[in-house]
Amino acid sequence: MKQNKPNISIIIPVFNEADCIGTLLPYLKENYESNASHEIIIVDGGSTDDTIAIALAHGAKVIRSEKGRAIQLNRGAALAQHAILYFLHVDTFPPKNFDKTIISATENGNQVGCFQMKFDSNSRFLNFFAWFTRLNYKICRGGDQSLFITKDLFLKTNGFNENYTIYEDNEFIGRLYKITSFTILPFHVKTSARKYREKGELRLQYHFGMIHLKNYLGASPEKLHDYYRRNIAV
């Protein structure tokens, strides 16, 4: 990669993810350009398992933070060294040469965007919902699709709203849709369907839909979290 090309800070919030982090980190290094000098920032919310040790063993930078995805994401962004931020869930795997795709998008004037998404499942039900991630509407967005954004734009928008303990990705992306164009990249990340397997596909999708509806009707961050706690986190 030429020296005048921007690099990427990959920011991954975690909490007790020892089972996933050891798979994701080598995958990332194998799937971005071999001569890239990106940084991988693991923002840990107080893990009590081997998450931190595994991350360090794979050469990632580890930052300790108060638990809460919005807080962790903002903490990682504040300490990121590069001009492009890439927010990634620990159980989501981006496509080959994802960094090259993101950098090309920013060089073409796209300040923010995401990939399309597929699940690591053959479920027709889940694949039906994943199909909609190719559409450029904010209702079709979610953190599992990953998110790239220039650091300049991130700072101008004040980042993630830390009042949200859930729905922080959707709230932030909703604000971005209001102020700039949002880009859907023509490749797919593959994300884990583990929560659907644990909770049941119909049940979990219903509750996610209810959270979207409650937000649309003006529910506070606290009420969204309370609904999540009672119906999903149990």
pTM reported for the whole predicted model = 0.95
Mean pLDDT of the chain: 95
The token pair at 160 is: 């993630």
Percent of the chain with pLDDT over 90: 94
Per residue in 143-163, pLDDT tens? 999 999 999 999 999 999 999
How would residue 2 be classed by pLDDT, with cut points 50, 70 and 90?
Answer: very low
Question: In this model, does residue 122 exceed pLDDT 60?
Answer: yes
Q: What structural domains and CATH numbers belong to the chain?
A: 8-192 (3.90.550.10), 196-234 (no CATH)
3 state SS for 66-121: CCCHHHHHHHHHHHCCCCEEEECCCCEECCCCHHHHHHHHHHCCCCEEEEEEEECC
Give per-residue pLDDT as tens, 14-62.
999 999 999 999 999 999 987 778 999 999 999 999 999 999 999 999 9
pLDDT digits (tens, 9 = 90+) for 189-224: 999 999 999 999 999 999 999 999 999 999 999 999
Average pLDDT (79-93) is 97
pLDDT at 4: 65
Compute the distance between CA of residue 139 and CA of residue 129 in angstroms, rounded to an integer.
11
End-to-end CA distance of the chain: 47
